[in-house]
Structures are given as structure tokens and as C-alpha cells.
């Protein structure tokens, strides 16, 4: 952690502090707090990857910072001011602390912009007066997210190649839902996050299956199996190849899948986070119309020795679980 600075945008009290000095990153508690948030953000499966647009003013300033033409504090104040101006114009201003840090990770330098939405919480307050000492409970409006909490908004710029990973939220500004971070501050183009890509693939597979009267449970399982197997060799996801694999033998359904993938704007190739995908596709979750939920490992799902789906004459479905050695009640 080379440098860090914190700016306060408190829309509850109307106090806005644009710091003129850096934080003491040698403080162990401060260092660990920042380290946890940076690491969690870099490992976030919901993060998007992006590149600055040519007209990006933020890109120009970051280049100047790297070249020693712009100082760290001034750059951070620009980020904080831009966030302040946009939140001020939103329909629901939320107090947000802006932390900018210069960090070194695996011999690569990054500029981190972390946006901490303030939370409301209760804490104690000790009062001493002529009647003695007493404890009171007070409401605090400026609590930062804990080190284990995921941030909903951040941007991390690699200072070697100026690639960006970020997460953001929409804000209603002048009556329009806007991605402030990517559209107004960074000015960058972005790709789908791993989480968004997996969710979109599952949605398209289910839609195509339902339109043709198929069993979405089976096709979604095939899609998960394809993604899991593909990850053994590659860190990218090809949606067209997935559709051909899931709907092999049915040219019409394959074409419909490709059509919907284009309609939803799914890119030809998506880079995915292996760790997240492994966690998300290793099990299949089923929920019935009666509210019964079952979680089945994908290794067992298509094996009739363990799981069997039976279509009954009355149109209902029975699920048979077989060869169970032990049941644990939770």
C-alpha cells in the first residue's frame, strides 16, 4: 500500500471533506482494512472488465499521474469531486466516502478507487455529568462497510496497461438510470462479468427449452456440465459452442439459441473467473411449486443410479433419490 487518501461525502449532515493530506498507511488497522477491500474487489466474480474510451478525461489524468505530471492528492480530489457532483444530482443522495489508493500487487501497480456507502448503526456513548457516569445508545449515520463486506462500487486500474476492473450501481440522475462510474467518471467500455455471463447463459437456455416444450432442468444441467468441462482447458466461454453442445441434434433449437444470444448482446467470447464458475456449477438446485428445494451435485444429477425423474400420467413429476447411505438433518 504505497499511498491512500479518504474524502468524505456526508449528505446527511451536509459535510463534504476533500482531504489535502494522505492517510497513514503504516497504521496496521488501516492497512489491513484497505488490503481486505482491495483483495475482495479483485476476486469479485461480479466485477466487470473495461477499457478507457479515447475521449476519457480520467484516462488522461491517470496517464499524467503515472508520468509524474499530476500529483496523487489532486487526482484523488478530482475523483471525489466528480462522485460528489453526480450523487448531488441523484434522486436519492447516499453518503459515500471515496478512498483512492496506490497499491503494489504481484509487482504490478494499481490505482484503486473504492466507494464506501455509509450505513446506519447503533453504538454506545458514555456521558459524564453532575449526576454521575452513564451509558447511552446513539444512532451513528456514518458507518463504513466492514472489511469482510463486498463493495457495490469500485474501480481498480492497472497502471501498466490501463485495463480496468470495476463494479458499479445505477443511480437515478435527472430522471434517468445511469451508471455513473463507467459512463461519467471513468468513461470506459465494459464486458460482462462472470456472474452476469453465467446468469445470461442459463436464462437463454431455459427460454429456448421452454419455447420448444423441453425439460429446462436437463438442458440447464448440460449447460453447467459444459461450462465446468470447458474450464479445464480454457478461461473463456464461447456461447455459440455451448448452445450447439446443449441442443445438439436439434438444429432449430441451436439456431434459436444463437439468435437469442445475439439479441441479448452476448459477446462472441467471454473471459470467466474459474473459481466462481466452479462454485456456481458444481451443484444443481431445484425448487418445486410446493416450495421443496433440493441441491444435487452435478456428478450425480444425470446418473440414474442416484437421481431419477419420472413423468407421471397426470402430468406431475416425481423425483426419486436412490442409493442414499446416510441422511443428515440440518
Ordered by start, the domain boundaries in the chain are 3-115+145-190, 194-321
Distance CA 173, CA 255 (A): 39
The pLDDT, as a whole number, for residue 149 is: 86
Q: Tell me which of 282 and 182 has the higher pLDDT.
A: 182
Confidence of residue 235 (pLDDT cuts 50, 70, 90): confident
Distance CA 248, CA 278 (A): 24
**How many CB atoms neighbour CB 141 within 10 A?**
13
Relative to beta strand 96-105, strand 108-117 is antiparallel
The pLDDT, as a whole number, for residue 187 is: 95
The pLDDT, as a whole number, for residue 73 is: 97
The pLDDT, as a whole number, for residue 22 is: 95
The arithmetic mean of pLDDT across residues 282-290, rounded, is 81
Asked if pLDDT for residue 233 goes beyond 90, the answer is no
The pLDDT, as a whole number, for residue 163 is: 93
Backbone phi, psi, residue 200, to 5°:
-70, -40
Percentage of the chain exceeding pLDDT 90:
44
Mean pLDDT of the chain: 89
Asked if pLDDT for residue 244 goes beyond 80, the answer is yes
Q: Answer yes or no: are the C-beta atoms of 242 and 236 closer than 8 Å.
A: no
Amino acid at each position: 500500500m504505497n499511498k491512500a487518501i479518504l474524502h468524505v461525502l456526508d449528505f446527511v449532515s451536509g459535510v463534504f471533506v476533500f482531504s489535502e493530506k494522505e492517510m497513514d498507511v503504516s497504521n496496521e488497522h488501516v492497512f489491513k482494512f484497505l488490503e481486505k477491500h482491495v483483495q475482495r474487489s479483485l476476486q469479485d466474480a461480479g466485477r466487470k472488465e473495461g477499457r478507457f474510451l479515447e475521449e476519457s478525461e480520467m484516462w488522461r489524468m491517470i496517464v499524467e499521474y503515472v508520468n509524474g505530471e499530476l500529483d496523487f492528492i489532486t487526482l484523488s480530489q478530482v475523483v471525489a469531486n466528480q462522485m460528489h457532483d453526480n450523487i448531488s444530482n441523484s434522486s436519492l443522495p447516499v453518503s459515500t466516502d471515496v478512498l483512492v489508493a496506490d497499491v503494489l500487487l504481484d509487482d504490478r501497480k494499481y490505482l484503486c478507487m473504492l466507494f464506501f456507502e455509509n450505513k446506519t448503526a447503533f453504538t454506545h456513548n458514555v456521558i459524564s455529568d453532575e449526576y454521575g457516569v452513564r451509558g447511552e445508545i446513539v444512532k451513528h449515520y456514518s458507518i463504513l462497510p466492514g472489511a469482510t463486506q463486498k463493495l457495490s462500487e469500485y474501480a481498480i486500474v492497472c497502471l501498466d496497461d490501463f485495463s480496468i476492473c470495476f463494479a458499479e450501481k445505477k443511480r437515478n440522475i435527472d430522471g434517468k438510470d445511469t451508471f455513473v462510474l463507467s459512463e461519467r467518471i471513468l468513461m470506459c467500455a465494459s464486458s460482462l462479468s462472470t456472474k452476469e455471463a453465467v446468469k445470461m447463459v442459463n436464462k437463454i437456455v431455459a427460454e429456448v427449452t421452454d419455447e420448444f416444450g423441453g425439460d429446462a432442468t436437463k438442458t440447464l444441467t448440460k449447460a453447467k456440465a459444459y461450462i465446468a468441462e470447458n474450464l479445464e482447458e480454457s478461461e473463456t466461454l464461447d456461447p455459440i459452442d455451448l448452445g450447439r453442445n446443449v441442443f445438439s441434434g436439434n438444429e432449430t433449437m441451436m439456431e434459436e439459441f444463437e439468435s437469442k444470444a445475439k439479441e441479448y448482446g452476448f459477446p462472441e467470447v467471454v473471459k470467466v473467473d474459474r473459481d466462481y464458475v466452479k462454485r456456481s456449477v458444481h451443484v444443481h438446485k431445484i425448487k418445486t411449486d410446493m416450495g421443496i428445494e433440493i441441491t444435487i451435485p452435478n456428478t450425480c444429477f444425470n446418473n440414474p443410479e442416484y437421481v431419477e425423474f419420472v413423468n407421471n400420467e397426470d402430468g406431475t413429476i416425481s423425483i426419486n433419490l436412490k442409493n442414499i447411505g446416510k441422511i443428515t438433518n440440518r
